Amino acid sequence: MLEYIAKRTLGAVVSLFIVITLIFLLLRMMPMEGYFGAEYDKLSEETRASMLAEKGLDKPVLTQLVEFYKNLLKGDLGKSWIFRPNYPIAKILEKKIPYSLKIGLISMAVSLLVGIPLGAMMARFKGKLGDKIGTAFIAIVEALPTAVLMLFVQLYFSSWFNLSLLFDKDNPSTWILPILSISLLSICTYAMWMRRYMIDNINMDYVKLARAKGVRGGRIMFLHVFKNAFVPMAQFLPGSVLSTIIGSIYVEHLYSIPGTGGLLIDVIQRQDNTMVQTLVLLYAAIGIIGMFLGDLLMALLDPRISFVKKGDDR
Amino acid sequence: MENREIILSVKNLNVRFSLRGKSLHAIRGVSLDVFKGESLAIVGESGSGKSVLTKNFIGLLDKNGRIDSGEILYAGMDLAKFTTEKEWAKIRGKKIAMVMQDPMTSLNPLKTIGWQISEALILNRGMKRAEAKAAAIDILKDVGINEPQRRYRQYPHEFSGGMRQRVVIAIAVACGPEILICDEPTTALDVTIQSQILGLIKTLCRKYEMTTIYITHDLGVVANVADRIAVMYAGDIVEIGTADEVFFNPQHPYTWALLSSLPQLGEKGKELYSIKGTPPKLFGVIKGDAFAPRNPQALKIDYLVRPPYFEVSPTHKARTWLLDPRAPKIEPPEIIKRLHDLEQEGEAGEADE
Amino acid sequence: MAAKKPLFNRQMRRISELDANIQAGLAREEAERAKQAEAEIETVDYTPEQIAALDPALFEPAGFNEEDAERTGYSNYSYWASTFKNFWRNKVARVLIIALIAVLLFAFLQPIFPGQHDPVTINNDPETGIQLMNLAPSSEYWFGTNAIGQDLWARVWAGTRVSVFIGLVVALSDLVVGVIIGMIWGYVRKVDKVMTEIYNVISNVPQTLILILVSYILRPSITTIIISMCMVGWMAMARFIRNQVVIFRDRDFNLASRCLGTSTFRIITKNLLPQMVSVIMLQTALAIPGAIGDEVFLTYIGLGLPTSQASLGNLVEAGRVLMMQKELRYQLIFPAAVVAFITIAFYIIGNAFSDAADPKNHV
């Protein structure tokens, strides 16, 4: 068990290192004009060169990478170029992260608390009307492009329930739609997989044996099937952290929530390279940490885990 | 053998499955009496309906299957009429328990084996947890697991296949049933472990006074454990009798064919006997004797009318027109007579497959 | 989707005709099934009297025909026939696939129909010379015009062509690249470990983030958008194929094949691939709506195609900007409805087909 945790920790750290390096290098492959945004054509050759030198971009890529890591270890994320010129990115993020974190966590909690029981109920009453409606609903939510779906939510829910179209941190009712939008997709994903895993497990031999030894319906569902179905879900959880992230990028911008997701879109549109880099790294890091936590959770739930290698899961 | 107490009685049972809109007649009018304390083996090739038949006894028929007609009488109740979980709760485990084929998948991977045995004790015998633990450890000892105290806390993945099957048997025994159904209990195990497990079941049944029903396609298993044998083909029992009667005086051509294909009967240099063709599909109507198309000695009547049971002895009957006085006298294949010789030779050695 | 029903009269009529045929066929099938179920199977034995009455001539050997014996178990099973039959039995999928084909055909043929506007031309009022901005849907401009007076009807179909084209290319690339890499990944043991490690690292990062990053680095055009989507999409497919190959690789039938000297290529194409048809088809079918959705998303965050190029993403985005003005909402609704229809149709058809193609669901 300890060995497994150590291995996974090491794996996560290595992943983080590789991903950060890759993203850094990828961004250096961008065509030159990408560094200047819309003003590129107006600038003279010399100004461009001096601007690059000022930002340290004239040095070899490897030197830049080493610099970058040095600063990162010191907690220095660099400075914004265009969004707020020469303002430390760390300071910008400081104000933005709490919003994203709050909304993200609430959304995750909502999706878990709704999605898992929903999937379990659908499996329990498989083939009944409720299950059919649920399945159809999930199909539609899964099939519709996220962007279109969230637009619909914003457009219609706001008018049906008379909710504000924009976010206001002091007005709790304005939190409802963004959280609903972000969780909707995760709820459906959870419900769908939970239902599938439950149904898979219901048909397993051990459930037949449990029934044969006289265990009754509800007890089987909860003590035997639910737990077994939940184990692969646990591994799935971090993946949904990822989808929550993506959802929040879009939703935050849509509702003008002053969080990091909306910020990413802003800085992409304004071509602020350091900001894009930092935010992409931030999200990648959240992704890796999420996966790592999911693995730990699995190890806690499944006694087999310390014996099975990860690559051969399932 | 006569006048023994009947513990379970099946009367003209018909079971159908609906598969993608088609109806499959899996059990075609089976009648069967199971005597208290005996060990009955139901033999047949895969798809003959032997598993389906016994699944009815504990209400674990797959969702798309249903009992069309017939009765399953047990302790004054008709199990065929049971529909709710509540009704079955009185039977499953408590009265009739089951050991399944594949021990690798029949235990819950997330619970300790101790928990799983205790669950049976708590639910069926109303024990408290501490009480159940002590009892479970006793049972683990009974089924031949060393260091039961330590094993009690372990998970299924820490056990080998044979050990897991012992645990599965322990769970079944823990329920304290009157009837134990063993559905191919050794098929998934190594040959060396098979006879150990069979021996274990035999001992336990004697100790706990359980009636056992074996389901198997392996005549070797049957020879080891069964008092009586029922041969199934295409959803019907074609011949039933004591083990000796079926082995040494078989009447139905299908039984002949089945016995002839025993590898032990093969002669060096000669090709091993195999039954031509495959069992019929059970989707349509089967007219006459289902085995007729594969039977080289089939009579014309076999294609027209389903044979009734002809009694060979009070304990032995077979569904074949060959037993009708008008039928030509057809001798069973030569090879089956070798069974006698083999039996005499092997008396000391115990058939170890 | 209901919104565009009247505009599709011809297609709809054809669909309903087809549907009537299908319904008739279904009814026939149902009747046959009922008849089959009715046929009582004789399970009641003859009484002694009946037995006694049997003609002794019947008790003669019937002769044995080995072919007959083999025929008892004869099966006329065919994988593809069974797959299509299963698929066709699914009513929703059947209606959707007809509708989808009709819509896609129409989208690609639309420019050659008479009386169509050009998607790029800015329409001016012939009398005043003023741009016909934001005209509500009318008999002339079926979906109305957009903010600079372009015909929305023509733009929606032009956009559908572009987006579906992107989707098809991406799906094809996912299919080819994913299957080939997945097969190698799973089959060649030496590669497996390295690839799995690489995959574990990459899969930690949200795919959409990679998509954003690549699109950010490459400047937007149809080619670059296709490239960035292709770079991301094959991974899921490859991973799936790899898992399946690992599962089936050492099954007995493959060991047997290998012992008989079958070449690796043949084992892969004949023994392994057919096992995976079901999910490969599903992944491919889902890649198309996936690509359309990604395009909408990328456009929203400012990394989509230039506005001069009509695409569903662009149209939705243009409509979204005007969303708050109720009377202009049609500019969002029409393209969004087309996106919704196409993606949902692909999703449901893909799932239905994958269910039908799964050998486990065959009788």
Q: Is A159 on the interface with C (CB under 8 A)?
A: no
Of B58, B92, B157, the CB nearest to A304: B157
Q: What span, in angstroms and rounded, lies between the C-alpha atoms of A147 and C301? A: 10
Spatial distance between the Cα atoms of C232 and C215, rounded to a whole number of angstroms: 11
Cα separation, B236 vs B222, in Å, equals 19
Rg of chain B, C-alpha, whole Å = 21
User: Which amino acid is it at A132?
Assistant: K
Contact between chains at C204 and A284 (C-beta distance less than 8 A)? yes
Pick from B29, B284, B300: CB nearest C43: B29
Least confident of B124-128, B202-206, C9-13: C9-13
* Joined tokens for residue A268: 């992409």
pLDDT at position C4, please?
35
Report the phi/psi class of residue A75: left, alpha or beta, with left for phi > 0 and alpha for psi in -120 to 50: left
Which superfamily does C90-110+152-361 belong to? MetI-like (1.10.3720.10)
* The residue type at B285: V
Radius of gyration of chain A (CA): 24
Tokens standing for residue C70: 């083999």
Q: Which residue of A has its CA nearest to C193?
A: A311
Largest CA distance in chain A: 84
Q: Do the Cβ atoms of C343 and A144 come closer than 8 Å?
A: yes
Q: Which residue has the higher pLDDT, A51 or A96?
A: A96
Average of pLDDT values for B328-348? Answer: 72
Check residue C104 and give its pLDDT. 92
Residue A155 in contact with residue C323, Cβ under 8 Å?
A: yes
Using the 8-state DSSP alphabet, how is residue C44 labeled? Answer: S
SS3 B213: strand
Average pLDDT, whole number, for chain C? Answer: 79
Question: Which residues of A are less than 8 Å from B94 in CB distance?
Answer: 214
What value does the mean pLDDT take over residues A104-120?
90
pLDDT band at B141 (very low <50, low <70, confident <90, very high): very high
d(CA B25, CA B15): 6
Query: Do the Cβ atoms of C350 and C286 come closer than 8 Å?
Result: yes
Q: What is the C-alpha end-to-end distance of chain A, expressed in Å?
A: 19
| Distances, alpha carbon C268 to alpha carbons A254, B169, C246, in Å | 48, 42, 12
Tell me the C-alpha distance between A249 and A242, whole Å: 11
Instruction: Please compute the mean of the pLDDT values over residues A135-151 and round it to a whole number.
Output: 84
Q: What is the pLDDT of residues C285-317, one digit of tens each?
A: 888 888 888 888 888 888 888 878 888 888 888
pLDDT, one tens digit per residue, over B209-254 is 999 999 998 887 788 788 999 999 988 999 999 998 998 889 999 9
* Nearest Cα residue to B57 out of B72, B75, B36: B72
Above 90 in pLDDT, residue C328? no
Question: Position of tokens 């490969």?
Answer: C280
Question: How far is it between the farthest Cα atoms of chain C?
Answer: 106
All chains having 3 or more CB pairs closer than 8 angstroms to chain A: B, C
Neighbouring residues of B19: CB distance < 8 A, sequence distance ≥ 6: B64, C363
Please report residues of C whose CB lies closer than 8 A to that of A284: 204-206, 209
pLDDT at C351: 84
CB contact under 8 A, B155 and A209: no
The answer to whether B132 faces chain A, any CB pair under 8 Å, is no
Q: Which of 311-340 (B) contact A at CB < 8 A?
A: none
pLDDT given for residue B101 in this prediction:
84
The distance from CA A197 to its chain's CA centroid, rounded to whole angstroms, is 22
Q: Averaged over A9-17, what is the pLDDT? A: 87
Q: Do B60 and A228 touch (CB under 8 A)?
A: no
Q: Is C7 a residue whose pLDDT tops 70?
A: no
Give CA separation, B249 vs A299, B245, B351, C84, in Å.
Answer: 59, 5, 19, 51
State the pLDDT at residue A108.
86
Q: Do B294 and C51 touch (CB under 8 A)?
A: no
At B69, the pLDDT band (50, 70, 90 cuts) reads: confident
Q: Judge whether B107 is closer than 8 Å to chain A, CB to CB.
A: yes
pLDDT band at residue C77 under the 50/70/90 scheme? low
pLDDT score recorded for residue C15: 56
- Contact between C59 and B326 using a beta-carbon 8 Å cutoff: yes
- Residues of chain C positioned with their CB less than 8 A from the CB of B10: none
Which is it for strands B179-183 and B236-242: parallel, antiparallel or unpaired? unpaired
User: A247 CB near a chain C CB, below 8 Å?
Assistant: no
Q: What pLDDT, in 10s, does the model give residues A179-231?
A: 888 888 889 888 988 888 888 888 888 988 888 888 888 888 888 888 888 88
Q: What is the pLDDT of residue B45?
A: 85
Q: Is the pLDDT of residue B92 over 60?
A: yes
CA distance A117 to chain B (A): 20
Residues in B closer than 8 angstroms to C51, CB to CB, are: 308, 324
Name the token pair of B248: 């040494």
Confidence class for position A162, pLDDT limits 50, 70, 90: confident
| Beta pairing partners, B240 | B230, B317
Task: Please name the member of C56, C62, C72 whose beta carbon is closest to the beta carbon of B294.
Answer: C72
- The tokens for A16 are 């983080």
Measured distance CA(C353)–CA(C93) in Å, rounded: 8
Total-model pTM: 0.76
C324: tokens are 């708050």
B217/chain C closest Cα distance in angstroms: 19
- The DSSP code for C47 is P
* Residue C33 pLDDT class (50, 70, 90 cuts): low
pLDDT higher than 90, residue B325: no
d(CA B124, CA B90): 9
**Chain-centre distance for alpha carbon A143:** 19
Closest CA in chain A for residue B175: A213
Q: Do A212 and B93 touch (CB under 8 A)?
A: yes
> Bridge partners of B39?
B212
Looking at chain C from residue 296 to 335, which residues have their Cβ under 8 Å from any Cβ of chain A? 296-297, 300-303, 316, 320, 323-324, 329, 332
pLDDT category at A154 given cuts 50, 70, 90 is confident
A126, A294, A109: which is closest to A186 by C-alpha?
A: A109
Domain residue spans of chain C: 90-110+152-361
> DSSP string of A87-141?
-BHHHHHHHHHHHHHHHHHHHHHHHHHHHHHHHHHHHHTTTSHHHHHHHHHHHHH
User: What was the pLDDT predicted at C164?
Assistant: 92
**Neighbouring-strand partners of residue C151:** C145
